[in-house]
Amino acid sequence: MFELRHKFSPKNFDKIAKTYAEAFVRYQEGKFRDAERLFRALSGFDKPSSILAARCVQFAAQPPAQWHGIFSLTAK
């Protein structure tokens, strides 16, 4: 018997979703080091978590002047 498995299996999907939600709340609150740690834990699962983790590193080193929880792209 062969069974297809994916990293987003029903067993771990709830945990992944909860961790992502917690990381994103920390990101919006400006708690970039906490958010980065949580996003890094998920970076093997999806690309957005890796991107947000890298952004958190930048923001922790040089915090945005007026952070409202929203990142605006300035270039393509």
pTM over 0.85: no
* pLDDT of res. 5: 56
* Residue whose tokens read 């498995």: 5
The structure tokens listed for 62 are 């040089």
Q: Residue 56 is inside which H or E element, if any?
A: helix 47-61
What does the DSSP assignment read for 2-64?
-----TT-HHHHHHHHHHHHHHHHHHHHT-HHHHHHHHHHHTTT-HHHHHHHHHHHHHHHS--
The structure tokens listed for 41 are 């834990």
The per-residue pLDDT for range 34-70, each reduced to its tens digit, is: 999 999 999 887 889 999 999 999 999 999 888 888 8
The per-residue pLDDT for range 5-44, each reduced to its tens digit, is: 556 566 778 888 999 999 999 999 999 999 999 999 998 8
